[in-house]
């Protein structure tokens, strides 16, 4: 049984969502003392790591990626035991560490970039201006349980190449695989550059986000936690990047052609990872002309989904990660049914599913639901999808924009011009056309939310903007030259020059 421990710590237990009586491992509930140690180590390591230069940091990151490669299978098994997702999904999550370390190592020259902005001699003051990208200092990376490794490294890797030292706070629901990986990689990096502090969000997390020596907070999680983190970081004015929840709308226009390929995309987009991905499709708006055909095909295709234990190769989606998540899914379904909605349950259980024990929910399709139902206005994070009819583009756009969320969205049509017209009016960080699932946003594309879904953008060079500050070094070519606002001081002369 893996455990992460030390000193007089208290421990938490991680149980398997497919067999909740099975304890997968234990983790230390770190307190302020452990946070102080990790931050002090990061602070001490920072100047040397920053001054090493991005080229040498990239070399260290590639060495760490080699180590991460060798751990993927073990980590994937552990992730499936912690959060219930399929082994394939867990491999994608665990494999993200090495991929992201290499991807950001390749951005070394961008991380160290110095831009010459020497001004036009004819402008008000001829100057030489050098804008340097500089590191922030020690930062904290806080990750959620649904994709703990990939999302942690989505922030760890750009921070490392930028020259920051990183303290990682894993989620309590799934701390084991991420903690084990960070500990293994920390051993091949200079001491203090990367540390991990498992523990409760309200204790270890809050101590990190409020710590005066932490200069950046990279948070991925829910909106309400995000608000707490923002408040906590505000006292010491830290740089904050936030990837928060989503309630993504998919809009199927009257100019769409409804066929198996397009509906399958939306089934995968809404049901993948049992609906527990930030940019899963969470509401589907379908033009009334296509509504019945779309719903029938969706229910038919979702009917082939197999639900069971994530280790079972025949399974498409595993149990929900927590009992709380399952109870919420059941409540949302019952609430909609009680309000008169049409609830259709699809899919089958694999033999591996211990239905009465695990946190299982079959794919559920809900129509005839009120626009202000909780299922429409909040993030369900489960395989329960509302499908709603609309009559005009304006209605669909208003509905898609009608929540506090703005992470991603999609528009579906064979008429690209029509899809683009609608896409331009949707308030979200990404709008996909005729696709909406993992892989739709790649490293060359900025990713993040508008409205309450986040602050800042990740992926490639966009991540570097959050992990660095711009330092402008300005040298006057002609210090004697007048600058606006300085003429009134011209009467100041040294005594020797006036005598």
The radius of gyration of the chain from alpha carbons, rounded to an integer in Å, stands at 26
Minimum Å gap between C-beta 331 and ligand NDP is 17
Give the separation between CA 61 and CA 101, rounded to whole angstroms.
6
Residue nearest to ligand NDP (CB): 201
Indicate whether 245 belongs to the interface with ligand NDP (CB under 6 A).
yes
Task: Pull the structure tokens for residue 176.
Answer: 């084991």
Indicate whether 65 belongs to the interface with ligand NDP (CB under 6 A).
no
Residue 315 vs 407, nearer CB to ligand NDP:
407
Phi and psi torsions of 198, nearest 5°:
-70, 155
- Considering only 137, 163, 201, 386, the residue that binds ligand NDP (CB under 6 A) is 201
Give the separation between CA 345 and CA 37, rounded to whole angstroms.
51
Indicate whether 205 belongs to the interface with ligand NDP (CB under 6 A).
yes
Indicate whether 31 belongs to the interface with ligand NDP (CB under 6 A).
no
Indicate whether 466 belongs to the interface with ligand NDP (CB under 6 A).
no
Task: Pull the structure tokens for residue 344.
Answer: 């259709």
Site string for ligand NDP, 379-418 (x = CB under 6 A): x---------------------------x-----------
CA distances to 136, 377, 443, 466, 467 from 158, rounded to whole Å, are 12, 33, 12, 9, 7
Residue 163 vs 221, nearer CB to ligand NDP:
221
Order of all β-strands in the sheet with 408-412: 342-345, 364-367, 384-390, 281-287, 248-252, 408-412, 430-433
Residue whose structure tokens are 């990190």: 208
Indicate whether 182 belongs to the interface with ligand NDP (CB under 6 A).
no
Helix (H), strand (E) at residue 323: helix 323-338
Say if residue 334 is exposed, middle or buried (CB neighbours under 10 Å; 0-12, 13-18, 19+).
exposed
Residue 277 vs 423, nearer CB to ligand NDP:
277
Minimum Å gap between C-beta 451 and ligand NDP is 12
If you ran DSSP here, which 8-state letter would residue 28 be given? Answer: E
Residues 144-173 that bind ligand NDP (CB under 6 A): 144-147, 151, 169, 171-173
Contact 325, 428 (CB under 8 A): no
Indicate whether 454 belongs to the interface with ligand NDP (CB under 6 A).
yes
- Considering only 86, 90, 209, 428, the residue that binds ligand NDP (CB under 6 A) is 209
428: nearest Cα among 404, 444, 445, 458: 404
Contact 80, 87 (CB under 8 A): yes
Minimum Å gap between C-beta 217 and ligand NDP is 8
- Considering only 90, 220, 380, 430, the residue that binds ligand NDP (CB under 6 A) is 220
Indicate whether 278 belongs to the interface with ligand NDP (CB under 6 A).
yes
Residue 275 vs 363, nearer CB to ligand NDP:
275
Q: DSSP for 468-480?
A: EEEEEEEEES-TT
409: nearest Cα among 393, 395, 425, 394: 425
Minimum Å gap between C-beta 111 and ligand NDP is 22
Residue 163 vs 386, nearer CB to ligand NDP:
386
Residue 206 vs 315, nearer CB to ligand NDP:
206
Minimum Å gap between C-beta 242 and ligand NDP is 8
Give the separation between CA 36 and CA 204, rounded to whole angstroms.
10
Indicate whether 202 belongs to the interface with ligand NDP (CB under 6 A).
yes
Binding site for ligand NDP (CB under 6 A): 142-147, 151, 169, 171-173, 200-202, 205-206, 209, 220-222, 225, 228-229, 243-246, 278, 379, 407, 449, 454
């Amino acid at each position: 049984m893996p455990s992460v421990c030390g000193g007089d710590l208290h421990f938490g237990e991680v149980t398997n969502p497919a067999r909740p009586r099975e304890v997968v491992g234990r983790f230390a509930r770190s307190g302020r003392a452990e946070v102080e140690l990790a931050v002090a180590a990061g602070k001490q390591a920072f100047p040397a790591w920053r001054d090493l230069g991005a080229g040498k940091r990239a070399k260290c990151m590639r060495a760490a990626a080699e180590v991460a490669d060798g751990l993927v299978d073990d980590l994937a098994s552990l992730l499936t035991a912690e959060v219930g997702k399929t082994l394939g999904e867990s491999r994608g999550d665990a494999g993200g560490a090495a991929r992201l370390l290499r991807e950001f190592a390749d951005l070394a020259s961008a991380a160290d970039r110095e831009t010459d902005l020497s001004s036009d001699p004819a402008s008000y003051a001829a100057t030489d201006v050098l804008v340097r990208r500089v590191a922030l200092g020690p930062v904290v990376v806080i990750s959620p349980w649904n994709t703990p490794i990939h999302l942690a490294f989505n922030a760890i890797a750009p921070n490392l190449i930028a020259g920051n030292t990183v303290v990682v706070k894993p989620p309590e629901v799934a701390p084991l695989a991420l903690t084990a990986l960070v500990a293994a990689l920390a051993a091949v990096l200079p001491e203090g550059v990367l540390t991990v502090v498992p523990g409760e969000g309200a204790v270890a997390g809050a101590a990190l986000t409020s710590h005066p020596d932490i200069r950046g907070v990279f948070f991925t999680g829910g909106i309400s936690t995000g608000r707490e983190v923002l408040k906590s970081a505000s006292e010491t004015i830290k740089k904050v990047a936030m990837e928060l929840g989503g309630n993504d709308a998919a809009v199927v226009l009257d100019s769409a052609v409804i066929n198996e390929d397009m509906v399958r995309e939306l089934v995968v987009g809404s049901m993948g990872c049992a609906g527990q991905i930030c940019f899963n499709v969470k509401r589907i708006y379908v033009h009334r002309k296509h509504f019945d055909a779309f719903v029938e095909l969706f229910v038919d295709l979702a009917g082939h989904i197999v639900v069971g234990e994530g280790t079972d190769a025949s399974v498409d989606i595993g149990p929900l990660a927590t009992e709380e998540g399952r109870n919420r899914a059941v409540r949302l379904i019952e609430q909609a049914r009680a309000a008169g909605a049409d609830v259709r349950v699809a899919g089958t259980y694999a033999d591996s599913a211990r239905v009465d024990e695990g946190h299982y929910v079959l794919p559920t399709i809900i129509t005839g639901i009120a626009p202000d139902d909780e299922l429409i206005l909040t993030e369900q994070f489960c395989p329960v999808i509302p499908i709603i009819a609309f009559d005009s583009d304006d209605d669909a756009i208003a509905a898609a924009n009608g929540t506090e969320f703005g992470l991603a969205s999609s528009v579906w049509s064979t008429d690209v011009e029509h899809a683009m017209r609608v896409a331009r009016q949707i308030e979200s960080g990404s709008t996909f056309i005729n696709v909406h699932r993992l892989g739709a946003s790649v490293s060359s594309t900025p990713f993040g939310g508008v409205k309450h879904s986040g602050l800042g953008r990740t992926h490639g060079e966009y991540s570097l903007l959050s992990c660095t500050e711009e330092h402008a070094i300005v040298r006057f070519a002609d210090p004697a030259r007048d600058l606006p606002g300085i003429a009134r001081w011209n009467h100041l002369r040294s005594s020797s020059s006036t005598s």
